[in-house]
Structure 1
Amino acid sequence: MQHRVIISGFGGQGVVSAGRILAYCGMIEDKKVSCLPSYGPEMRGGTANCHVIVSDEDFGSPVLNSATALIAMNNPSLEKFESVVEEGGIIIADSSLVDKKPSRKDIKVCYVPATNKAFEMGNAAFANIILLGKLIGETGIVSEDNFENALYKILSQNKHHLIPAEMEALKYGIEYKE
């Protein structure tokens, strides 16, 4: 199985971090992975996206012309990448910031109030983790256990105290029902 995921939003929302975590989870599971970040000219506050491939088989390019999944963290991301999602694919949107609806009917769409929930949890940076949780819950792209292992490997030691709360955020996303 090959998962081709685009994660997109404003700079500073953790788009690239989410891509790195997802790719690292795939590596822990001995899958073939790629993570290709792209930043807008302004960085924080500008646009950012990350192409992530997690696959059981070899693949050629890390650049995605089509995706099996899109995580849209803002309206411009949904507008830009909706057409790239393959028929039968999935769009996961942060309903706290995305008020547009996709025009297509051949894809699954999930809205999760990730930013609002992250603020409730006391850390706005958890929104990307919540959305990754929804992706994991819908696709099984990686396991929850390996997600926690990846956090311990990726985050600096002084951030390890946040991991239990991040795992709560992930679980919220996994279990979220509209």
Structure 2
Amino acid sequence: MKEEIIIAGFGGQGVLSMGKILAYSGVMQGQEVTWMPSYGPEMRGGTANVTVVLSDNRISSPILHAFDTAIILNQQSMDKFEPLVKPGGLLLYDPNGITRHPERDDINIYKIEAAEEAAQLKSAKTFNMIVLGAFLKVKPVVEMENVLKGLKKSLPERHHHLIPMNEKAIQRGGEIVKEVTLVKA
């Protein structure tokens, strides 16, 4: 098994954290892992993305030009990364703030209304965990027990009291993710 993932959105959406949790989860599962963040000088509001590779075998390079999965959280990332999803791959996106929805018919498209769900839960900080839960429901590349270990490893100890809330958000994301069927014109 080898999964090449890009997670992309705005700084402050938890993009890098989501990637780090996936990476730690893979390590806990005994996989080979790369985690490569990319972000602008702005902390919040600028674009951010992270590539994560999970593999049962050695990884030759963390640099990717095409992806098995793209998790897209803003329009700029949709424009940039939708074309780079491999045919037969997965594109998961939150429609909040997206003006041009995915158009490819050679990939599997899912949407997760994570921003809306986080608002209903009155917890904006759970946004990225809702998205992560949706991804893991569609493509369970790591086991949930390892995700929880990865969450514990990536959160500072002073935030460990938030783990149960994040666990519920991951579960909720898996419950509300929806497959998108494109209508041919």
CA distance in 2: counterparts of 1:83 and 1:135, whole angstroms: 19
Distance 1:19-1:177 versus aligned 2 partners, 3 A rule = closer
Q: CA deviation at 1:177?
A: 4.2
The alignment partner of 1:171 has SS state of helix
Q: Which amino acid aligns with 1:101?
A: H
Structure 2: gaps spanning 5 or more residues: 179-185
CA contact (8 A) 1:92 1:109 kept: yes
Deviates more, 1:113-122 or 1:15-24: 113-122
Output the aligned Cα RMSD.
1.2
Q: Note the C-alpha offset of 1:42.
A: 2.2
Q: State the TM-score, normalizing by the size of structure 1.
A: 0.95
Aligned to 2:90: 90
**Is 1:74 equivalent to 2:71 in the alignment?**
no
Aligned to 1:59, what secondary structure does the other structure show? coil
Match of 2:129 in 1: 129
TM-fit CA distance, 1:123:
1.8
Task: Measure the CA separation in 2 of the matches of 1:114 and 1:171.
Answer: 12
Give the paired residue count: 178
Q: Which residue is 2:50 aligned to?
A: 50
Deviation at 1:99, TM superposition (A): 3.9
Deviation at 1:144, TM superposition (A): 1.2
TM-score by length of 2: 0.92
Q: Retained in 2: the 8 A contact 1:118–1:126? A: yes
Other-structure match for 2:183: none
Unaligned runs of 5+ in 1: none
| Matched residue, 2:59 | 59
- Is contact 2:90-2:109 (8 Å) kept? yes
Q: Could you say which residue in structure 2 is the equivalent of 1:32?
A: 32
